[in-house]
């Protein structure tokens, strides 16, 4: 099975699905319509073994291979964030105040692309593939709910991935790491109970704010003095409140601290120290300090054998895989699939580009130029899984892009060519691609002519254009006459 060629054949499908799901994001615990559409997509692929979770909006589907073997699970998260989208994309969110700002729309589309490939070639598979569409990742409850309902029953290994901003020249690279890869997250809800009193008579009160302030300072020693310097952890007091009036000694103060740790030993040590320090500071200030621990994400442990299989599969498919020298500081509730069930697991980051224009995940302006440049795979017991790409970055398919850029006409039919949704003379000049005449707007016709000695020299400059390029539907190809003229103009440079 030529994974790379097959993945490229399904590329248009993957892009179409990604853009669709980007338009209709739903928050954690609200993914009802998302699940319904995913089920429709899976049924359209001919997949029949589909199960909807009862306690959450999760969904599993199993592709049964034509040969005996083990069962591999592939997981994609499906929830969005309460973020206002500011990308200006033509397929931007239609749900005000909600956005797939963490790339979960990409993950859904990538898994659907894998499903399409595997379903059509299921007779070649040795074993089964369990597709897991998981809700509520951002609220740390989705994977636990699916595990409780048996989503991983009978699964021998599970794989997941996450897109991330990167340099443009690394688009498509899969980052590999063995061992603990993502951090554990725990929250400490701390309440300081003192005794309020008149501000002019502090000796009659027990100042909760003074106690809380000192506590914040001493908590900084947890990492610097109690965690092994060869280990790593971060403890941050993120919120603090207390007091009701300027002339009243506060009797109550509250704070929330977040702990990120990268080993079970470091996590256990930090939790123990926070409790011990709170107890001691409470005694020193004659206050009662209440500590409630809220366990968040678990550590994601990447099984070395599974990572080796991923590396072998990606390389064999012609993709880019690279071992990185340090773990990812973020957290993922994918971690519970392995931690709670003992199932070997591997989680990878995939470079999605944007270079100097990149913003962080969870930002309303984030745009993924290319989710995966070439086929990426996860492999277990001979089961290849192809992931797709979203070619919003013009230099990936430069030849077809330039042909479409130079001449473009009214679009009304259905095709999977590039469409230029909006371009202005000013933007083109700012990008430095030469003299340009005409403009392009949705539903309009235009001649867009680049007159530069060698337009390909500035192809990369198009990334800085305020120009939305998409590979969508509702595009009519240029006429044969126009196409011939375009070819004559560009062929000298397209060698």
pLDDT the model gives residue 488: 57
Q: What is the pLDDT of residue 437?
A: 40
Interatomic CA distance for residues 482 and 494, integer angstroms:
17
Phi-psi region of 342 (alpha: psi -120 to 50; beta: other; left: phi over 0): left
CB proximity list for 9: less than 8 A, separation 6 or greater = none
* Cα separation, 191 vs 366, whole angstroms: 37
Confidence check: pLDDT of 269 > 90: yes
Q: Mean pLDDT across the stretch 384-412? A: 31
> Which comes out higher in pLDDT, residue 494 or 200?
200
Lowest mean pLDDT among 191-205, 353-367, 443-457, 471-485: 443-457
Please give the pLDDT value at position 354. 78
pLDDT in tens, 420-473: 323 333 333 333 333 334 443 333 333 333 333 434 343 333 333 323 333 332
Q: What is the DSSP string of 249-278?
A: E-SEEEEEEEEEESSHHHHHHHHHHHHHHH
Tens digits of residue pLDDT in 328-349 = 988 999 999 999 999 999 999 9
> Which CB contacts under 8 angstroms, 24+ apart, belong to 43-52?
45/112, 45/115, 45/116, 45/119, 45/120, 46/119, 47/115, 47/119, 47/131
Helical pair 104-120 and 32-44, crossing angle rounded to 10 deg: 20
Query: What are the tens digits of pLDDT across the range 81-125?
Result: 999 999 888 889 999 999 999 999 999 999 999 999 999 999 999
Confidence of residue 367 (pLDDT cuts 50, 70, 90): confident
Look at residue 372 in the predicted model and tell me its pLDDT: 36
pLDDT (tens digit per residue) in 22-49? 999 999 999 999 999 999 999 999 999 9
Q: H or E segment at 112?
A: helix 104-120
- Residue 393 in this model has a pLDDT that exceeds 50: no
Contacts 24+ apart (CB under 8 A), 276-279: 277/215, 277/218, 277/219, 277/221, 277/222, 278/190, 278/215
How distant is the alpha carbon of residue 256 from its chain centre? 26
pLDDT at 387 exceeding the cut of 50:
no
Q: Average pLDDT in the 300-322 region? A: 91
Nearest to 393 by CA among 360, 351, 349, 353: 353
pLDDT (mean) for 228-242: 94
Residue 252 has pLDDT above 80, yes or no: yes
- How much is the mean pLDDT over the chain? 79
Give me 168's structure tokens. Answer: 């443009």
The pLDDT of 397-418, averaged and rounded, is 33
Cβ–Cβ under 8 Å, residues 101 and 361: yes
Question: What does the block give as tokens for 249?
Answer: 């000694």
The whole-number pLDDT of residue 10 equals 85
| DSSP conformational letter for 440 | B
């Amino acid at each position: 099975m030529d994974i790379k060629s097959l993945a490229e054949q399904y590329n248009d499908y993957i892009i179409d699905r990604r853009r669709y799901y980007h338009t209709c994001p739903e928050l954690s615990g609200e993914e009802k319509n998302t699940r319904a559409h995913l089920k429709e997509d899976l049924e359209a692929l001919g997949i029949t073994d589909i199960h909807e979770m009862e306690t959450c909006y999760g969904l599993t589907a199993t592709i049964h291979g034509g040969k005996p073997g083990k069962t591999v699970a592939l997981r994609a998260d499906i929830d969005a964030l309460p973020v206002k989208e500011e990308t200006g994309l033509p397929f931007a969110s239609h749900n005000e105040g909600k956005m797939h700002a963490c790339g979960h729309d990409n993950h859904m589309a990538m898994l659907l692309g894998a499903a399409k490939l595997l379903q059509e070639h299921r007779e070649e598979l040795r074993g089964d593939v369990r597709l897991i569409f998981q809700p509520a990742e951002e609220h740390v409850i989705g994977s636990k709910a699916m595990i409780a309902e048996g989503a991983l029953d009978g699964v021998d290994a599970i794989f997941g991935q996450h897109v991330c901003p990167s340099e443009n020249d690394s688009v498509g690279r899969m980052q590999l790491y063995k061992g603990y890869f993502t951090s554990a997250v725990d929250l400490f809800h701390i309440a300081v109970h003192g005794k309020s009193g008149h501000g002019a008579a502090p000796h009659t009160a027990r100042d909760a704010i003074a106690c809380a302030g000192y506590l914040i300072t001493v908590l900084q020693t947890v990492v610097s003095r109690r965690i092994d310097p060869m280990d790593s952890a971060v403890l941050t007091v993120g919120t603090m409140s207390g007091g009701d009036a300027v002339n009243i000694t506060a009797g109550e103060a509250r704070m929330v601290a977040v702990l990120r740790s990268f080993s079970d030993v470091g996590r256990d040590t930090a939790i123990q120290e926070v409790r011990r320090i709170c107890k001691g500071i409470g005694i020193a200030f004659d206050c009662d300090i209440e500590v409630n621990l809220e366990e968040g994400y678990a550590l994601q442990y990447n099984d070395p054998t599974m990572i080796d299989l991923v590396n072998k599969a990606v390389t064999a498919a012609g993709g880019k895989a690279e071992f990185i020298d340090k773990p990812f500081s973020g957290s993922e509730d994918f971690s519970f699939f392995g931690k709670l069930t003992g199932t070997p697991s591997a989680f990878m980051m995939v470079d999605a580009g944007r270079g100097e224009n990149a913003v962080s995940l969870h930002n309303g302006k984030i745009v993924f130029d290319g989710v995966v440049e070439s086929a990426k795979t996860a492999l277990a017991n001979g089961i290849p899984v192809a992931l797709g790409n979203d070619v919003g970055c013009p230099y990936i398919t430069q030849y077809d892009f330039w042909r479409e850029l130079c001449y473009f006409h009214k679009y009304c039919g259905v095709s999977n060519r590039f469409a230029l949704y909006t371009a202005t003379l000013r933007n083109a000049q700012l990008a430095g691609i030469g003299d340009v005449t005409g403009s392009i707007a949705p539903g309009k016709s235009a001649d867009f002519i680049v007159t530069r000695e060698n337009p390909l020299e500035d192809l990369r400059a198009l990334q800085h254009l305020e120009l939305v390029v998409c590979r969508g539907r509702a595009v009519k190809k240029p006429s044969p006459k126009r196409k011939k003229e375009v070819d004559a103009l560009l062929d000298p440079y397209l060698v």
